[in-house]
Amino acid sequence: MRKVESAMRNLSLAVMVAAGMLWGTASAQVRLKGYLGDRLDQMIEHHVVGTDIDYLTAPFIEKTERKNWWHTEFWGKYMHSAMPYLGYAGSQKLKVNIERGIDRILASQEPCGYIGNYPDELRLGEGWDVWGIKYTMMGLIYYSDGAKGDLVLATRAAAALNACRKLCDYVIAEIGPEGKRGRELWQTGNWSGYASSSILEPVVWLYNRTGEKKYLDFASYIVRGMIEPRQGPRLCDLALAGVSVADRNESGYRKDAAWQYVCKYGRSKAYEMMSCYQGLLDYVLACQKSQIGDQELLGKLRRAAILSAENIVREEINLAGGCTSSEAWFHGAKKQHLPYLHLQETCVITTWMRLCGKLLSITGEAKWADEIERTFYNAYLAAMKADGSEFAGYTPLSGNRYHGQHHCYMHTDCCTANGPRGFLCFLDNLFVRDNSAATFNFYASALVDGFDMYSLYPRENYARIVSHITGQLELRLRIPGWSRQTSVVLNGKALEGVEPGMYFTIARDWQLGDIVEITFDMPVVAHVLEHNVAFTRGPILFARDSRLDAGDFTEPFRRGIRDGQVIESFHPVRAASDDFWMQFAAVLPVGAHNENPEGAHGSMLTFCDYASAGNSWHRDNYYRTWFPIELAP
């Protein structure tokens, strides 16, 4: 029965690809296997397929929002993952869900073009209406892209795109240049215009799909609001001046003010800032493709986005690939050993991976794939419930995993809605093929177009790629920056010139059955930060979990561990249960009382991967990643 189901799923995938019903192309070429394949299948079935679409779309029909909340973001986020996962899983239930959602959204559109849940007098103002419209536009475009290749759904795809046009036209008429509402777009919403300005991304998409200049003109208007007003987002000049993302608030911004969490002013909100940079990069690409715009300005915008992302890597990203406290930048890399409030919001994690994916496609630099990998295998998988049904709102580096919020008095939240988009980012970037080259960015076990990957990575340090093609093609392999000595072997012969942090290219006349073997350098490395220590192996952060050790997690390590030191005593051990992806044990110098012969001995400690730590979501299941080192006078 399982073989029949698998064959039907693969047939469904082939039909969807042929019909053009997959948003994007990369996910259509990949079928994950093993641990990650199981996690993805569970998330699709229990989360994406299981979503109550009537519940998500009800606010659009009711239009009763008077508290400036953000109910209308959930449907658009859902559509981002639902359309490609429809092709991946071939679920008839998911297809029915998608079609019913589109029917309800289209039926809710007013003659003026508005789709949302705010009454007229509160629209496009202080709340999250423009933010919600952004996601609604995205949802309509996702559907139009995925359905337009199907003869049966082509008319509905056109209707969805037309509804997106009418919605964007409404926004232009109301808060565009000389709009009826008498205010600039960047002056609406929250966080110095970040939230509303991030509508730039689907506006550019709409221009790309329609070719109508008015949408590029509107995008240019949004960009001016992003970079010119003194009290606006200022996404260009502050970045080019080298101001860190955590230090871009105005001098009068009060962190202790009552409105600090969702406020009108302030520029440290990570999710919205990165969403704006995503739109800016799309705008640059659209202008360059159309050969429109000031090339010097476009270069500055591109540079500002890259500089900001590099600053995030340098000053904000922790060992789990996560970032932010209370959803804001806070120079978190140097504070990750401390118990900061609301660490690693899942929306921020997902948006960070999406931004890295965009930078990877634009720059071709392997370091952005390194960042996606680190975040995905740690912070992202840690946030996902074991059965894939929901995502934690916040995922601390030490403590407990637990359920997210109930936003807007709905039984969902921004992070649970956003979560499936993160897995899609990993899936879309795992394997990318065009006419001249095929690129592996990640090394999960998967069946792909032209090559198949057999791997237990990153639990093991080995991956095997088998050719299913014949003819000339460049195979590009991302060599992780952390793997200092990587071995690449083709049909039993070692290849030279492999460098960490770069792509290694094998250009040859491929034959069916050619084998490429990759062995990564994966020692366990100690990271020391202000008398605290954590351990990583390759991209994986280690943790101690209360289900594995009954010891005192606050017991200090003895002095002498150096930052960057390779810890030789770690070795893999059999996992205690299926709850754990990987486990390692080591004899380590723990315990302050070492004045007697017995106390001088090390202790055997057991670690698991950070993503598995605390994944029971029970309050009595606690874990820790950073451990104190004893002090001396």
Predicted local confidence at residue 597, as pLDDT: 81
- Is the confidence at residue 195, as pLDDT, over 90? yes
> Residue 278: CB partners within 8 Å, gap ≥ 6?
198, 201, 351, 354, 355, 358
Look at residue 100 in the predicted model and tell me its pLDDT. 96
Residue 135 burial class via C-beta count within 10 angstroms: exposed 0-12, middle 13-18, buried 19 and up? buried
The whole-number pLDDT of residue 194 equals 96
Say what the pLDDT of residue 5 is: 35
pLDDT value for 368:
98
Q: Is the per-residue pLDDT at 350 higher than 70?
A: yes
Instruction: Report pTM.
Output: 0.94
Residue of 560 and 550 predicted with greater confidence: 560
pLDDT of residue 57: 96
Count of CB atoms situated within 10 Å of the CB of 421? 18
CB 612 within 8 A of CB 591: no
pLDDT at 353 over 50: yes
Q: What is the mean pLDDT of the segment spanning 513-518?
A: 98
Q: Residue 41's closest CA among 393, 388, 288? A: 388
Question: CA 621 to CA 615: how far, in whole Å?
Answer: 8
* 49 confidence band (pLDDT: 50, 70, 90): very high
Residue 17 confidence class, pLDDT cut points 50, 70, 90: very low
Query: pLDDT for 580-610, tens place per residue?
Result: 999 999 999 998 777 888 878 889 999 999 9
- 406, pLDDT greater than 60: yes
pLDDT at 302: 98
What percentage of residues in the chain have a pLDDT greater than 90?
A: 81
Weakest mean pLDDT among 254-258, 312-316, 440-444, 528-532: 254-258
3 state DSSP class of 163: helix
> What's the number of CA atoms in the CB half-sphere (13 Å) around residue 138?
25
- Examine the pLDDT at 508 and tell me if it is beyond 50: yes
Residue 18 pLDDT greater than 60, yes or no: no
Distances (CA, A) of 250 to 40, 127, 134, 268: 42, 21, 26, 10
Going by pLDDT thresholds of 50, 70 and 90, the confidence category of residue 512 is very high
pLDDT over 80 at 68, yes or no: yes
Q: Looking at residues 47-70, what average pLDDT do you find?
A: 93
Question: What is the C-alpha separation between 280 and 278, in angstroms, rounded?
Answer: 6
pLDDT-wise least confident of 61-70, 309-318, 547-556, 589-598: 589-598
Alpha carbon 497 to its chain centroid, in Å, reads: 32
| 437-519 carries CATH number 2.160.20 | no
Place of tokens 């001046």: 241
Q: What is the pLDDT of residue 14?
A: 36
Tokens of 371: 């960042």
Domain residue spans of the chain: 1-183, 316-430, 437-519, 524-628
The pLDDT of residue 253 is 66
Confidence of residue 544 (pLDDT cuts 50, 70, 90): very high
- pLDDT of res. 551: 81
Looking at the predicted structure, is the pLDDT value of residue 129 above 80? Answer: yes
Residues 402-407, mean pLDDT to the nearest whole number: 82
Judge whether 323 and 342 are in contact, CB under 8 Å. no
CA nearest to 187, candidates 122, 233, 254, 245: 233
Calculate the alpha carbon distances from 436 to 25, 289, 471, 476, 505 in Å. 16, 21, 11, 11, 12
Q: Is the per-residue pLDDT at 564 higher than 70?
A: yes
Mean pLDDT of 140-158: 88
Work out the percent of the chain whose per-residue pLDDT is above 70: 94
Give the mean pLDDT of the chain: 91
| Confidence band, pLDDT 50/70/90 cuts, at residue 256 | low
Q: Are 215 and 207 in contact (CB under 8 A)?
A: yes
Average pLDDT (538-562) is 92
Whole-number pLDDT of residue 255: 61
